[in-house]
Amino acid sequence: MSSTQRRVVITGIGVVSPLGSTKESLWEALSGAQSGVTLLTAYPAGALPVRFAAEAGQFQGKIDDFGPLEKERKKALRKGLKVMCRECQMGVAAAQLALADAGLVSGGTDPTRSGITFGADYMLTVPEEFTEGILECLDEQQQFQFSRWATQGMPKMSPLWLLKYLPNMAASHLAIYNDLRGPNNSLTLREAASNAAVGEAFQTVLRGSADAMLAGATGTRLHPMKMVHAIQQEELATGNGDPARASRPFDRDRTGMVLGEGAGALFLEELCQAQARGATIYGEVVGSAISSAVDRNLVANRRQAMANVLRAVLRNAGASADEIGHLHAHGLSTRSGDIQEAQAMRELFGDRAQPIPVVAAKANFGNLGAGSGMVELTASLLAMQHDRLFPLLNYETPDPECPVAAVADDQTSPGESFITFNVTPQGQASAVMVRRFQG
């Protein structure tokens, strides 16, 4: 079958987010204008100059968080949890939920024609991994002695500790647990990883290298060292107000982004296979794009990167700007980032007869790192399923520097298609276009 005849559809959804770990809880919160941002509880108050966070509190890393599992798969997964960090656990859980939602059972697809593309943030060890070894190297004055580390400190560490923090481990675990022997890749592109993973999975099925692909991404900005990095390098929401009002994409009074955690996954299939097994079809992927834009000093040009992917995804899908029902914006809620994003959107969609509706779920759950884009894509899929968009939370005062048609209520149509896109601080951007499925 030639690539021009193949179509790629989405048949499974899985999420782990600050708004719950089911597509129903996610949609209920978004459509009800609820926030998943609360006071930070993962670390002692005052330990860091950040008060707000979007924690995936319902996810405990227990076997029940991974959805319905066959007996042997549950046994293997329970054993594997000890070599997964929280990010990896969330990613595996979201993917298992997507597979269950797709109605897959063992032997349901050809394992040699089924693969994985999974995105992740850079992963870091938590300090607690070193505690026992460090204590072993303290002298009588409680001073750390480096000379003792090799012989006394390291033996106190788990010999498998590094496996918990490799960004390719989510895809590795999932391939083993679900006997997925087709193409397998892991992408570490921070916030751009989600759409890049979906794009690669889409292209893999489209060109005939696989008939089904599990695409997902997982991330956290709530790791202690990553929080320090964010505090040093990025614009964060601060203050003593209501946490639920902290993330305010495109609003004039925004003060910065909120840090969060989460993961999402989609099961993509070639249309004929999906129809043959009677799968529910949420939408059809019709285009994808990635871009990186920096100057000669390696300073990111995020506006150019976003404009590049918006233009490229339209071209890749053979669509015009007027055809797009809505945009799911990156919506970071930073002063500079939102202005650059609004400029990119205006460059591509400013000449439309009707302004394009804009949503941004980061208003509800902050920046989940690499997992954000996957949950945002899922949110727009659910909007098409329910035939109405959700409001842009906390958008109260328009910013003249961010002229966007923010969705104000739950009565706006999602249209017949949407584009979702993300960008990293380093100027890497990715986008995906999805159409409502027409048989």
Q: Measured between alpha carbons, how far is 333 from 236 in angstroms, rounded to an integer?
A: 9
Q: Measured between alpha carbons, how far is 133 from 128 in angstroms, rounded to an integer?
A: 10
- Is the pLDDT at 308 greater than 60? The verdict is yes
Task: Give the per-residue pLDDT at 30.
Answer: 98
Task: Give the per-residue pLDDT at 114.
Answer: 96
Which residue, 379, 376, 367, is CA-closest to 195?
376
**Average confidence score pLDDT of the chain:** 94
Share of the chain above pLDDT 90, in %: 85
Domains of the chain: 8-123+166-435 (3.40.47.10), 129-162 (no CATH)
| Contact in structure between 120 and 265 (CB atoms under 8 Å) | no
Considering Cα of 242, then 248, then 254, then 259, what sign does the dihedral take? positive
Looking at residue 152, the DSSP 8-state letter turns out to be I
Residues constituting the chain: 439
Three-state secondary-structure class, residue 338: helix
pLDDT band at 4 (very low <50, low <70, confident <90, very high): low
- Is the pLDDT at 8 greater than 60? The verdict is yes
Q: Measured between alpha carbons, how far is 411 from 83 in angstroms, rounded to an integer?
A: 45
In 175-281, where do the E strands start and end?
184-187, 212-220, 261-270
pLDDT band at 3 (very low <50, low <70, confident <90, very high): very low
CA gyration radius for the chain? 22
Element (H, E) at 286: strand 283-292
Q: Measured between alpha carbons, how far is 339 from 108 in angstroms, rounded to an integer?
A: 47
Task: Give the per-residue pLDDT at 1.
Answer: 37
Residue 139 burial (CB count, 10 A) = 9
Q: Kindly report, residue by residue over 326-335, the tens digit of the pLDDT.
A: 999 999 999 9
| Chain CA centroid to CA 197, Å | 10
Q: Kindly report, residue by residue over 208-258, the tens digit of the pLDDT.
A: 999 999 999 999 999 888 888 888 999 999 777 899 999 999 999 999 999
